[in-house]
């Protein structure tokens, strides 16, 4: 049978026969489903009457499935059927069913593909959801897909291990990319030893880590050599992995999904190594961190005529554990985003807060670098931000963004918080950001966490909440936002009579708003 397999697929199928259990650490969309389907068929062909259990975490579990998700189920069935190339009769109990009935079979663990050896003997592949509750009760050959996304995977593994341990011929094959959280059990099973360097290889690379599990690694570079390409998001032409990464908005996700990079420390959005590099560059370029107010002589930090923007995440509170305001003045110099001044301060006077912004804008103008845009995070302070916009727009363009509202980037819908967060992290990871070399900035930036494909800001004991990171990302948008063509999102102006529309540690930025009317909700962003 000529299946058109890539070199790394052939290598796995050839060498993997010797192992009772193995791990496939393959890049996203690296033909895992096709490979699993072929392996399931081979086991069925070689072992009349056997059961192959194919568990996937790629599909909805415990919720209503969509028609699109059931198409993936049928692609698994179709891949097994295509692999036979007429070698025998293959049928599925899902053949001809509408998608909602097919989904019902899957969710009740009744979806099967059968290979008939003759009129009375058949081998089966059962496709089930990767759930601890459904893992028991089967024996035979096991294929586990996307294990890095299986919740409580350690418990699931303990339940599935006896399935293939009951007979010396049975096998367990697993597949994953590096999990986002290094506490996930798949991290321990698949992470390669520290310092191990991989040369690109069309056949992939085998290694064994401390868990003793044989791991077959296929990165985007390996797959490219094997003729399995990535494609440009705009032209749809084949694109080299390095160029594909350069265009990716979320570099951390690319490194995990295509570069197969294991990141220790889990979910901090800004990698420590990249942040250290950005701060070292900032020290060379004279970037300054300040607290409480704009420092004396701050305008001398600016390079006249360089494109300049101001970003701010505002708050008007002075309580010990309340959030501060994060203010950032950034210039674009030689392809670098240089955060000339980052200020963290607290004030309960909304007029003073606006006066600081006015001084920041006017100071830049005096230095000969008019502000291209002032970008304000209006997520929690919409009314004050709208008033500030009206007052300062004669000096510069003022753009209001709301973290939870949606925008589009390269055809993908996401929140403004996710879009701007990725913009800032990408600049830092790519070595295009210069930041003040201050411990306060480092600690505040590290409070920003990856969460469910987006960002979430943790809070420390002093009330710091990644506010200077938000100021920095807003200043980047001020340098990049299209002006004058209606593409920038604006925040609606509204007054709320509902006390649950803000934070207990943030008062609405209005001179007539007293502390005893402060809102009470504890989450504010996104």
pLDDT in tens, 74-132: 666 676 666 666 556 777 666 666 756 666 665 556 677 777 777 788 888 887 777 66
Q: Are 157 and 185 in contact (CB under 8 A)?
A: yes
The residue-averaged pLDDT of 363-373 equals 95
CA end-to-end span of the chain = 52
Give dist(CA 307, CA 276) in Å, integer: 25
Three-state secondary structure of 118-148 = CCCCEEEEEEEECCHHHCCCCCCEEEEECHH
Give dist(CA 264, CA 225) in Å, integer: 28
Separation in Å, CA 34 to CA 3, 25, 31, 233:
9, 15, 5, 24
Please give the pLDDT value at position 261.
87
Q: Are 338 and 330 in contact (CB under 8 A)?
A: yes
The per-residue pLDDT for range 413-456, each reduced to its tens digit, is 889 999 999 999 999 999 999 999 998 998 899 888 877 677 88
The per-residue pLDDT for range 389-401, each reduced to its tens digit, is 999 999 999 999 9
The per-residue pLDDT for range 179-208, each reduced to its tens digit, is 877 667 888 788 887 668 899 999 999 999
Q: Is 423 helix (H, G, I), strand (E, B) or coil?
A: helix
Task: Write down the mean pLDDT value for the chain.
Answer: 80
The residue-averaged pLDDT of 471-486 equals 86
- Answer whether 0.95 is exceeded by the pTM: no
493 pLDDT higher than 60: no
Other beta carbons within 10 angstroms of residue 343's beta carbon come to 25
* Domains of the chain, CATH where assigned: 11-229 (3.40.50.300), 272-495 (3.30.420.240)
CA 173 vs. chain centroid, Å, equals 26
The residue-averaged pLDDT of 43-68 equals 68
Q: Take residue 313 and report the two structure tokens written for it.
A: 């995440």
Contacts of 8 (CB under 8 A, 6+ apart): 26, 30, 201, 202, 203, 204, 216, 218, 222, 223, 226
The per-residue pLDDT for range 372-391, each reduced to its tens digit, is 999 999 988 888 999 999 99
| Ranges 1-10, 162-171, 406-415, most confident | 406-415
Q: Are 332 and 307 in contact (CB under 8 A)?
A: yes
| CA-closest candidate to residue 121, choices 76, 144, 88, 98 | 88
Task: Looking at 332-481, list the stretches that DSSP marks H as alpha helix, in order from N- to C-terminal side.
Answer: 350-366, 382-392, 416-429, 439-445, 467-480
Please give the pLDDT value at position 44.
84
């Amino acid at each position: 049978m000529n299946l058109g397999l890539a070199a790394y697929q052939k290598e796995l199928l050839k060498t993997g026969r010797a192992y009772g259990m193995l791990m496939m650490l393959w890049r996203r969309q690296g033909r895992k489903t096709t490979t699993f389907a072929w392996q399931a068929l081979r086991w069925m062909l070689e072992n009349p009457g056997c059961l192959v259990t194919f568990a996937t975490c790629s599909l909805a579990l415990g919720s209503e499935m969509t028609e699109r998700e059931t198409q993936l189920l049928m692609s698994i069935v179709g891949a097994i059927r295509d692999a036979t190339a007429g070698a025998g009769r293959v049928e599925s109990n899902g053949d001809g069913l509408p998608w909602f009935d097919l989904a019902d079979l899957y969710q009740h663990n009744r979806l099967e593909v059968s290979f008939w050896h003759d009129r009375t003997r058949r081998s089966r592949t059962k496709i089930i959801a990767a759930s601890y509750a459904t893992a028991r009760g089967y024996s035979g050959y096991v294929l586990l897909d996307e294990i890095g996304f299986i919740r409580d995977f350690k418990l699931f593994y303990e339940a599935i291990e006896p399935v293939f341990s009951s007979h010396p011929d049975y096998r367990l094959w697993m597949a994953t990319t590096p999990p986002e959280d290094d506490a996930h059990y798949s991290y321990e099973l698949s992470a390669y030893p520290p310092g191990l360097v991989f040369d690109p290889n069309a056949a992939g690379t085998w290694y064994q880590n401390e868990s003793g599990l044989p791991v077959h690694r296929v990165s985007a570079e390996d797959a490219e050599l094997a003729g399995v390409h990535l494609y440009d998001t705009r032209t749809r032409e084949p694109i080299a992995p390095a160029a594909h990464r350069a265009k990716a908005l979320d570099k951390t996700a690319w490194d995990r999904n295509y570069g197969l990079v294991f990141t220790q420390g889990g979910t901090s959005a800004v990698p420590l190594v990249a942040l250290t590099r950005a701060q070292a560059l900032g020290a060379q370029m004279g970037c300054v961190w300040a607290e409480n107010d704009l420092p004396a002589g701050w305008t001398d930090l600016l390079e006249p005529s360089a494109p300049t923007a101001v970003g701010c995440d505002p708050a008007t509170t002075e309580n010990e554990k309340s959030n501060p305001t994060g203010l950032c003045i950034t210039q674009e110099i030689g392809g670098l985003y240089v955060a000339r001044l980052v200020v963290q301060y607290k004030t309960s006077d909304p007029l003073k807060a606006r006066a600081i912004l006015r001084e920041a804008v006017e100071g830049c103008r005096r230095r000969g670098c008019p502000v291209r845009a002032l970008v304000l995070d209006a997520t929690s302070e919409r009314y004050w931000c709208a008033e500030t916009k009206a007052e300062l727009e004669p000096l510069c363009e003022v753009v209001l963004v709301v973290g939870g509202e949606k925008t589009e980037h390269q055809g993908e819908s996401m929140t403004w918080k996710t879009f701007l967060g990725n913009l800032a992290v990408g600049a830092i990871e790519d070595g295009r950001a210069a930041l003040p070399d201050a411990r306060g900035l480092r600690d505040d930036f590290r409070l920003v966490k990856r969460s469910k494909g987006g960002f979430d800001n943790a809070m420390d004991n002093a009330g710091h909440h990644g506010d200077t990171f938000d100021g920095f990302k807003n200043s980047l948008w001020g340098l990049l936002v299209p002006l004058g063509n209606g593409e920038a999102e604006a925040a609606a102006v509204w007054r709320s009579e509902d006390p649950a529309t803000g934070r207990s540690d943030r008062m609405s930025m209005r001179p007539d708003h007293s502390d005893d009317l402060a809102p009470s909700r504890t989450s504010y962003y996104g």
